[in-house]
Chains A and B, each alone.
Chain A
């Protein structure tokens, strides 16, 4: 399978714990996105990487959230000191393309976080 891969698929944690999600994009894609989706809503943008550079972060992204993409391949999204409001589906997407804002975005299956 050469699609976008995310793990873990499900994570249940207690409030205050740290969690980390991993995303492996489609191998030839240099652009990677993280989104968050809550029930009944469309995906909400969190952050964007072009190769290893994090070029954009949502203003809504708390300081407790950090993302990395070392070497421009896989990416991790870490949430520190989780809160119940962090419960959501975290989606990773990747795309190829030379142009800045064109191209098809391909999503992984998502990582569902439940904070108790």
Chain B
């Protein structure tokens, strides 16, 4: 079935640094969603992408829908301590089911 692989798995950065992470698949997606999850909480939607090549921003966050439709990227500029958490990419499968699948997650830790 379709799978989403995220990299890096985890990263430690200094406050103020920019962060980049990506999500790749061996098959095509028509929608990419990026979420942030804090410990003990549900995932919170950050950005939704619907069109190949689309670049969308939400404050310090910018995400792109890859041209091949098999990948997506999330960038965080000028990181702050509250950016700590796990970032997941997700998308609806295109294999005749209704489910959305999630990536393996990128755990971000920000050092003050």
CB distance from A76 to the nearest CB of B (A): 17
Q: Which residue of the partner chain B has the closest CB to A107?
A: B42
A-B contact count (CB 8 A): 69
Q: Is the CB of B100 within 8 A of A112?
A: no
Binds A, one of B56-64, B68-76, B77-85, B102-110: B102-110
Size bin of chain B's contact surface: 20 to 34
Q: Is the CB of B42 within 8 A of A91?
A: yes
CB distance from A104 to the nearest CB of B (A): 5
Q: Is the CB of A102 within 8 A of B31?
A: yes
Bound Cα distance from A40 to B98, whole angstroms: 24
Bound Cα distance from A6 to B45, whole angstroms: 17
Question: What chain A residues lie within 8 Å of B93 (beta carbons)?
Answer: 101
Question: What chain A residues lie within 8 Å of B35 (beta carbons)?
Answer: 107
Q: Is the CB of B99 within 8 A of A48?
A: yes
Residue total for A at the interface (Cβ-Cβ under 8 A) = 30
Q: Is the CB of A101 within 8 A of B102?
A: no
Q: Which residue of the partner chain A has the closest CB to B29?
A: A101
Bound Cα distance from A44 to B100, whole angstroms: 9
Question: What chain B residues lie within 8 Å of A25 (beta carbons)?
Answer: none
B positions within 8 Å CB-CB of A: 4, 30-31, 33, 35, 40-45, 48, 50, 88, 90, 92-94, 97-105
A positions within 8 Å CB-CB of B: 4, 6, 31, 33, 40-45, 48, 50, 55-56, 58, 89, 91, 93, 100-110, 112
Q: Could you list 30 examples of A-B contacts with CB < 8 Å?
A: A33-B99, A41-B104, A42-B4, A42-B90, A42-B102, A42-B103, A45-B99, A45-B100, A48-B98, A56-B97, A56-B98, A89-B40, A93-B100, A100-B98, A101-B30, A101-B31, A101-B94, A102-B30, A102-B31, A102-B92, A103-B31, A104-B45, A105-B33, A106-B45, A107-B44, A107-B45, A108-B42, A110-B41, A110-B42, A112-B40
